[in-house]
Amino acid sequence: MRRAIRRTTMVLATLATATVMSFAATPAGAAPTGTGSAEPVQNNIAAAASAGCNTATKVNRTNGTLNLPTYNGNATCVMGQGSQGAAVKVLQATLYRCYGAGISIDGVFGPNTATALKRAQEKMRIPADGVYGPQTRDALVWLFLSPSGACRTL
């Protein structure tokens, strides 16, 4: 895992001047506000590389509502083998429902989740490193809560 995180940190550090999308978000269980439209903002990518996704946040988009892995409400975060919690469950549910991965939705990012994520990354034609980050977030087809069970891009 350290090697994957180091590799991800190096890639993200080289992209430190890039503009990434930050999504207006509402913590899961809270009343949604606004439309959740994306606004481009400059983010400190190097800091985001060390920010592990620690929760799932409900996001309202024009094409529906979904949960995204976040770090304290910020959708720019990283997960890899060893990560655990609600953010991992959201990713696993998407891999299971939208990509047909035969994995458990247990909130533990283990080797099966990493393999399923690599397959999804290959399908989306992005680097298949088995690490979740901003590029993977933007490329994946996500499981939406409403309309119920729909798999859509952000």
Q: What is the pLDDT of residue 57?
A: 95
Q: What is the pLDDT of residue 146?
A: 85
Query: Residue with structure tokens 């940190």?
Result: 9
| CATH classification code of 2-153 | 1.10.101.10
Q: What is the pLDDT of residue 67?
A: 94
Domain positions in the chain are 2-153
For residues 58 and 30, the answer to whether their CB atoms sit within 8 Å is yes
Query: Residue with structure tokens 């409400």?
Result: 73
What is the amino acid identity at position 57? T
Digits of tens for pLDDT over the chain (154 positions)?
Answer: 445 444 444 433 333 323 233 333 434 444 333 333 333 333 334 444 458 999 999 999 888 999 999 999 999 999 999 999 999 999 999 999 999 999 999 999 999 999 999 999 999 999 999 999 999 999 999 999 987 788 999 8
Q: What is the pLDDT of residue 50?
A: 53
Cα separation of 42 and 22, whole Å?
9
Q: What burial letters (b/e) apply to 69-88, b meaning 16+ CB within 10 Å?
A: bbbebebbbbbbbebebbbb
